[in-house]
């Protein structure tokens, strides 16, 4: 009886020691969580989540201070990825932060623009070029569609235009034959 106990005790000590050693020795230095979360966020820096940018939101999620469903530009897809990463339950996008919209870019109506530079100051990614009293324009390829330039514009000359699908960006759809055949039968 005593022998058995001793053997078991010894075994557990040895195994525990080995596991502890392995944990220290083979520790995987992973990306800090904030970086991983930030990598999933769409980087529009729009602030719709209530934080001043994607990184602060990522930090808040990592600390458990914010929910994962506050990012409208990331959409359901983004929430799903966050849920996967953090092992949390998927939730639909919370309505108070906005709704998921098709990807758009800002377009300045050049006839109305008065060259006030307010939008240039508001743009988080410096995608608007121009100078005081000169007409401004949006560099479409850099625009993240955050809409932060809309509000400061005193003459309402900025519009959000959805990015049209073209031959290059067109995507093959998920094959649907399986569903059709099921209906047919």
Give the binding site for another protein (CB under 8 A).
Answer: 38, 41-45, 53-54, 124-127, 141-142, 144, 165-167, 169-178, 180-182, 184-185
Least distance (Å) between residue 171 CB and another protein: 4
Least distance (Å) between residue 185 CB and another protein: 3
Least distance (Å) between residue 31 CB and another protein: 15
Q: Can you spell out the DSSP letters for 118-133?
A: HHHHH-TT--EE--TT
Closer residue to another protein, CB minimum distance, 2 or 167: 167
The answer to whether the CB of 101 falls within 8 A of the CB of 151 is: no
Closer residue to another protein, CB minimum distance, 77 or 156: 77
Closer residue to another protein, CB minimum distance, 4 or 31: 31
Least distance (Å) between residue 121 CB and another protein: 10
Write 152-156 long-range contacts (CB < 8 A, 24+). 152/118, 152/119, 152/121, 152/122, 153/116, 153/118, 153/119, 154/114, 154/116, 154/118, 155/112, 155/113, 155/114, 156/112
Q: How far apart are CA 93 and CA 76, in angstroms?
A: 7
Closer residue to another protein, CB minimum distance, 44 or 69: 44
């Amino acid at each position: 009886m005593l022998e058995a106990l001793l053997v078991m005790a010894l075994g557990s000590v040895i195994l525990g020691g080995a596991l502890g050693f392995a944990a220290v020795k083979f520790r995987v230095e992973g990306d800090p969580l904030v970086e991983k979360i930030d990598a999933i966020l769409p980087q529009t820096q729009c602030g719709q989540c209530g934080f001043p940018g994607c990184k602060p939101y990522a930090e808040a999620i990592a600390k458990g201070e914010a929910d994962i469903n506050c990012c409208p530009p990331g959409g359901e897809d983004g929430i799903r990825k966050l849920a996967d990463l953090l092992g949390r339950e998927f939730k639909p996008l919370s309505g108070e932060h906005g709704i998921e919209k098709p990807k758009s870019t800002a377009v300045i109506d050049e006839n109305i623009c008065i060259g006030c530079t307010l939008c240039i100051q508001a743009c988080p990614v410096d995608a608007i070029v121009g100078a005081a009293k000169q007409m401004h324009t949006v560099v479409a390829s850099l625009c993240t569609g955050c809409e932060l330039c809309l509000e400061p514009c005193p003459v309402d000359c900025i519009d959000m235009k959805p990015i049209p699908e073209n031959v290059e960006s067109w995507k093959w759809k998920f094959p649907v034959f399986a569903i059709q055949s099921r209906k047919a039968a």
